[in-house]
Amino acid sequence: MSPYIYLDHAATTPMKKEVMEEMLPYFTEQYANPSAIYEFAVKSKDAMDTARKNIAATLGVKPQEIYFTSGGTESDNWAILKTAEALKTKGNHIITSKIEHHAVLHTLGYMESIGYEVTYLDVDKQGRINLKELEDAIRKETILITIMTANNEIGTIQPIRQIGRIAKERGVLFHTDGVQAYGHIPIFLPEYSVDLFSASGHKFYGPKGIGFLYVKENTPISSLLKGGGQERKLRAGTENVASIVGMGKAAKLVHQRLGYERMRETNLRNYFMNRILREINDVKINGSLKNRLCNNINLTFSGVEGEALLIMLDSEDICVATGSACNSKESTPSHVLLAIGLSEEEAYSTIRITIGETTQKKDLDQTVEALKLSVANLRKKS
């Protein structure tokens, strides 16, 4: 039993024991390189194919449209860099939103440095893009729209279906970063007109350092890495068989209980938010209440330093985040919170709580009590 109350599932999720058990033989017993052609190796390849099939089934797509990568960052980089390159004779314009993860924003920053033009769409107070602004931003040079399915800081879910429809009507490719959404909300890709979809194993109770990119058949894209001909010549490098097997198992398990778990987490989240709003003054919930991941709670406590609050909760063995996991060591205010209209001071007074499969009501009750004390103490000091 972990001594911690872990409330940072958007940063990473605990890997399930069943996932580890499924992976273990692929380290020391079934270790053959799946590219070899003897029977021993065919077993590794078959295990990868099963994982591919399991993942494809959860999204309603063909197994051969799933490509294994090292995680969400690689999937995002690959989707953007290599479709844009393949389409460079058609145009040089890409559309995104201001609240994307840095795996997308920093890739696009690089694209600008090599001559591409990028439009960064504003979002409203809830963190949603405006579809009319998206339509107006499309021009004849537009080759790609990349807008995340759900945000990692405030949990806001974008109107993916409508974005896909607009992209399809205008003949523009659509990539969505589904890293926070996959395994947390049902996603049936054929309904969404999505061409490319990124996901990451460690966000849905699988291993770290493994992910996948869905690439719709006939999408113009080339390999990001130069090397061998793995993954049908689109992703070079010996496959991480154990992690692929683990991710496939995690995908299956998380989807088996998705309906139940979403309901359970939504109830827990609402219970927690209501208690916080009732029992602590001057608190604000950020992001959409309607279009929101069931596990995300993002709170601004006015007059309280978010980092100081995190440290006080940490001393009670409660793990929360101040911004996104990937920029938690930086002390710049979150670009997502600024984009939804928070002041710098408010952004610095914000914490993110993300619950998961192991979170129980008693954990949240304990967290409310710890928050009440910590917020009162910090407000007294300021």
The Cα-based distances of 198 to 2, 19, 84, 88, 150 in angstroms read 30, 21, 16, 22, 12
Which range, of 177-185, 265-273, 349-357, 373-381, touches ligand PLP by CB under 6 A? 177-185
- The footprint of ligand PLP on this chain (CB under 6 A) covers a number of residues equal to 15
Q: Which of 164, 206, 211, 306 binds ligand PLP (CB under 6 A)?
A: 211
What residues have CB less than 8 Å from 199, skipping those under 6 apart? Answer: 72, 75, 178, 179, 182, 183, 211, 212, 213, 214
Which range, of 37-45, 164-172, 175-183, 237-245, touches ligand PLP by CB under 6 A? 175-183
Minimum gap (Å) between residue 199 Cβ and ligand PLP? 8
Assess 326 for contact with ligand PLP (CB under 6 A): yes
Closer Cβ to ligand PLP, 73 or 230, answer by number:
73
319 is catalytic: no
Assess 325 for contact with ligand PLP (CB under 6 A): yes
Minimum gap (Å) between residue 97 Cβ and ligand PLP? 12
Minimum gap (Å) between residue 106 Cβ and ligand PLP? 11
Q: Which 56-75 positions form the footprint of ligand PLP (CB under 6 A)?
A: 71-73
Closer Cβ to ligand PLP, 83 or 152, answer by number:
152
Out of 236, 258, 308, 326, the active site residue is: 326
- 4-13: buried (b, 16+ CB within 10 Å) or exposed (e) per residue? ebbbbbbbbb
Minimum gap (Å) between residue 216 Cβ and ligand PLP? 20
Binding mask 99-128 for ligand PLP (x = CB under 6 A): --x-x-------------------------
Which range, of 121-129, 136-144, 173-181, 278-286, touches ligand PLP by CB under 6 A? 173-181
Residue length of the chain? 382
Assess 55 for contact with ligand PLP (CB under 6 A): no
Assess 183 for contact with ligand PLP (CB under 6 A): no
Minimum gap (Å) between residue 223 Cβ and ligand PLP? 19
Closer Cβ to ligand PLP, 316 or 357, answer by number:
357
Assess 148 for contact with ligand PLP (CB under 6 A): yes
Assess 163 for contact with ligand PLP (CB under 6 A): no
Q: Which of 58, 77, 193, 200 binds ligand PLP (CB under 6 A)?
A: 200
Question: What residues act catalytically?
Answer: 326
Which residues are near ligand PLP by CB under 6 A? 71-73, 76, 101, 103, 148, 152, 177, 179-180, 200, 211, 325-326
